[in-house]
Structure 1
């Protein structure tokens, strides 16, 4: 079992440094930790022993396990001689701007607060309180802005300390009266009771019957049993993480599918995402013509927004916002589900930046991840989709609230499923803190440089998507042609024998376990099979364009949407193996060893979200599925 000796920082950060936003130099806590002791297990011995011979400067974005304080920095190696890394200061270019900002920062913040307060009072509260613009979303945004401005000057610990005290003296003390051997069984029974009440109390609408909801619950139980039976070591399964992950997934679904506030919030998020990515159309119009946008071609309607989104992500990463946001998001899962810091960061980042890019956030730690952590990182990538391709699915006419909620639900689902399939048996290097290291090796010189690099990266990602889709669709057509020719000799002609038909029958029981109405079991099974063998875009395209699938009931279409909303396919398997092997060449064998298990876990994570959606579907969501427009071909 690996163990790592922990050292204290040489110098303590000032109070002002702790309070500030994570990118400006006056707010950075510069802790230098010289790690010269790393006792490795036989499996990772050669990697960790290298740390003894190399002085390492650690300045991490992290949340300390004891204090809960959030810090920022970077992780990079320091070498001697000609290869010594030189820091390019850019002092003359930046000192005046940053110095001016530091001096007048309170004034800027007051001006920002005053402007948005006036906007909030006059607009949402007075003029538009009762019309279709609404007041809830603007109020939540205003509250979030106020909280962020306050935390520039008030330490988070002032709020978290009494909250932690209240938790320890209420829930922790209450559970202390329960014998330890009964805590997890009672928690499991309580979670099941929540699922039953939340699923069976609402009235029936159409084919959204209580019988179908019970089947969805039964399907979720079957998946949990399957993961437990096939676990690497079922005795080591952390049931706290499993129960907490499933319950969190259910709560998110209830908030989105059963409450007006949750529905409105996620509708707002999806509408804003669609509008943001829609601005790429202006660039396409400039390069071609306005009439090209009306053609609804994949090449002109989907690829440009992907390039624009990747460039925007790189810009947000350069200014430090993305690390700050992901760090806060990861902290929630770190504390509630008791996973390692690296796992929490990747799980929180994957829905926003994608499966390969999320692994890059923890690049300095990848060589030292345990097998269970590598499995978790890959499972997160397979379980959800990325924001860069979200516009592609929205352009098909899919329900945007369902897509966004599925992405968020897959975060706790992937953590729970992976811990059942491949529980942790070693000591992790990032246990006790959330760490989002800066990438000094590829750091951009300024914001414009970051945006340009992002555009180039977006072109490469878009090119990979185009090539992959072209080859996969052509290859599937080839297989279907061969199967159809073969099937005609057995009089299988209406419909012809195809890969989709075969997968539909193979996955027929899976569709039933998700709670799909009996008339649409074969079609949903075909879509799930297409998603795993080809990719989710092909499945979504068929769902919105082919009469065989557009004629399905709203319940079947929504469950199919959730079941296909993930990168869990054979093509992504090669992508993740390639990315992780490139980051840590010495761990390529370990990555390949757990890859198939991670793919299986990622697919099941997505299916658990579909099962929960089947339990909680409402009439409003079903009407939205019925009214969803079909994208033009």
Structure 2
């Protein structure tokens, strides 16, 4: 029976490929009619933004199969860029002078965007100033601890910080940005709902609604990975990541491998993003290895993001944090570990597509979905096992510390307690309200010692975290949005070591530095969001009060 179904799908796939232009024309006309029906109707015209963007992406993708429209657009953009660059190079011939001007422009943009807007109950200028000071402290610390300060490529650093700030302005200060990211989070919530339907089939409707890790997070991971493999089969993932990566490659002057991995990590996870460049992994420089691991630590994957939205974590904050951390991770990694070797992917992009391994390539979309479900099960089991073991190990160490602490009259001595006081100044530097600094530092400590899932559970369910202000809750949400914890170290080493065994020594040597740098990248996104936050009325923070 299974072979017959597979044969049907294979035959259908062959028919589709032979008549691809017919299907392309059908979908182009269908989506154009749908978009026009929205624009024409008075009842729906005010909701034009998201349908227009969606229609535009679909049309560009369909046209690009038959006409190099993207090449023409990018070529025109490059001409305009080079024309502007020629003017700048003519009047500012010195490289150091150009970097100084770029730094001043970036600083001016940040200062205007931070301090010009009026104060609100959620955002005082004094709090914004603290967050800006925190960014300066972080950058100074990275510069002091850099392995080669003279080799830092300031173009990447300045461009990454400016891009991160512009993304924050777009998301947190404009209605268009809010609408777009709200639509993305809506899709994630709907996707979670479909996963719950599957859980209801395996168990029952009542159990599928329980907010337990086993019935919320793990099914979401499995379903998301399987769903992504459908789009991977049709080449949509490779196409989207490639265009996204090219933007960072072109604007921030990083290598092709770094651009692809940084662009893919927030959407498809550490392992899958590394697979996109697996042919290059054996030839990566130490700086590239550091950058790839830093990108993984700086953000969370799409499957985990969907599951956290299901817990009730603010979706706009999660999605925007993931996007903001892409340029931030590139900037901070290039400060901590700048490139001093020759990269084989410098000046070119290389992404593995469906043609990479013809023998292993799925024969139809059903097989692709099945392969994704199997991989999702492995990933979900890995997540569950690591959480179980890490939490158990931390509990064991905490029990020993509590026993020792009892003799020192510190009955609650734990790793989280010690880390929360060490992270107290960090929580203050990102702009946390004064009376909530210790609470946020405790959440950050839980994230690093255990994982971000436990920290988010505390933020959503436990007092006094549920009584935090909207500003404090939002800052905590951004600060926890990353894989920078000790449990993820094993994941990074295991995945990259398996894909590039010849680089295992360098991976093991650089992983702790990448962990430290990835955590700073997440905190930079937190500080930038803290500076830009102006009105939180549209942001629903579970358990947050209005002050």
TM-score (norm. length: structure 2)? 0.93
> What corresponds to 2:66 in structure 1?
153
Instruction: Trace 1:427-466 onto structure 2 (pairs within 5 A).
Output: 427-438=342-353, 439-440=356-357, 442-466=360-384
Distance 2:93 2:120 in 1: 43
Partner of 2:462: 546
Measure how far apart 1:98 and its partner are.
6.6
Q: CA deviation at 1:124?
A: 4.6
Which of 114, 117, 126 does residue 211 from structure 1 map onto?
126
Kept after mapping to 1: 8 A contact 2:291/2:329: yes
Q: How far 1:604 moved relative to its partner? A: 0.7
Q: Provide the rounded CA distance (Å) in 1 between the counterparts of 2:82 and 2:294.
A: 32
In 2, the alpha carbon distance for the partners of 1:523 and 1:573 equals 25
1:174 matched to 2:125? The reply is no
Q: 1:172 to 1:129 in 2, by over 3 A?
A: farther
1:426 corresponds in structure 2 to 341
Check the 8 A contact 1:351/1:384 in 2, yes or no: yes
Seen in structure 2, the aligned counterparts of structure 1 residues 301 and 97 have a Cα distance that, compared at 3 Å, is closer
CA–CA separation in structure 2 for the residues paired with 1:626 and 1:101: 46
Structure 1 residues 364 and 138: alpha-carbon distance in aligned structure 2, compared to 1, 3 A threshold: same
When residues 108 and 446 of structure 1 are mapped into structure 2, their CA distance, relative to the original with a 3 A threshold, is: closer
2:481 matched to 1:568?
A: no
Greater share of helix: 2
- Mapped partners of 2:535, 2:541: distance in 1: 10
Deviations 1:241-274 (A, max 9, x none): 0111111111111110000000010000011111
Superposed displacement of residue 332, structure 1 = 0.4
Give unpaired runs (5+ residues) of structure 2. Answer: 1-6
Q: How does 1:62-141 map to 2 (within 5 A)?
A: 100-101=15-16, 104-129=19-44, 134-141=47-54
Cα distance 1:622–1:119, how it changes in 2: closer, same or farther (>3 A)?
closer
CA contact (8 A) 1:315 1:451 kept: yes
Alpha-carbon offset, residue 204 of structure 1: 1.6
Pairwise CA RMSD of aligned residues?
2.2
Alpha-carbon contact 2:466-2:544 (below 8 Å) kept: no
Cα distance in 2, alignment partners of residues 376 and 615 from structure 1: 26
After TM superposition, give the deviation of residue 316 of structure 1 in Å.
2.0
Distance (whole Å) between structure 2 residues aligned to residue 475 and residue 125 of structure 1: 61
1:211 and 1:408 map into 2 onto residues whose CA distance is: 27
Partner in structure 1 of residue 145 of structure 2: 230
Q: Distance in 2 between matches of 1:520 and 1:561?
A: 14
Q: How far off its partner does 1:623 sit? A: 5.1
Distance 1:306 1:94 in 2: 26
Q: Go from structure 1 to structure 2 and tell me whether the alpha carbon gap of 1:100 and 1:471 turns closer, same or farther (over 3 Å shift).
A: closer
CA distance in 1, matches of 2:306, 2:16: 36
User: Normalising by the residue count of structure 1, what TM-score does the alignment of the two structures yield?
Assistant: 0.80
Aligned to 2:439: 523
Q: Distance in 1 between matches of 2:212 and 2:81?
A: 54
Instruction: Count how many residue pairs are aligned between Structure 1 and Structure 2.
Output: 534
Choose 617-626 or 550-559, whichever is displaced more. 617-626
Cα displacement string for residues 511-541 of structure 1 (whole angstroms, at most 9, x for unaligned residues): 1111111111111111112111111111111
Q: How far, CA to CA, are the matches of 1:581 and 1:491 in structure 2?
A: 44
1:361-380 pair list within 5 angstroms: 361-380=276-295
Pick from 265, 270, 273 the counterpart of residue 350 of structure 1.
265
CA pair 444-231 structure 1, distance change in 2 beyond 3 A: same
Among candidates 74, 78, 91, match of residue 164 of structure 1: 78
Higher CA-based Rg: 1
Deviation at 1:174, TM superposition (A): 2.9
SS of aligned partner of 2:80 = helix
| Alpha-carbon offset, residue 205 of structure 1 | 1.9
Residue of structure 2 in register with 1:196 after alignment = 111
Secondary structure at the residue paired with 2:361? coil
Q: 1:94 to 1:502 in 2, by over 3 A?
A: closer
Deviation string, structure 1 residues 174-214 (Cα, Å, up to 9, x no partner)? 34311413111121121111111111112222252101101
CA distance in 1, matches of 2:476, 2:400: 27
1:138–1:171 distance in 2 versus 1, CA, 3 Å: same
Alpha-carbon distance change, 592 to 99 in structure 1, aligned in 2, over 3 angstroms: closer
Counterpart contact for 2:467–2:543, Cα < 8 Å = no
Paired residue for 2:520? Answer: 604
Shift of 1:165: 2.2
What are the residue-to-residue correspondences of 1:532-543 with 2, within 5 Å? 532-543=448-459
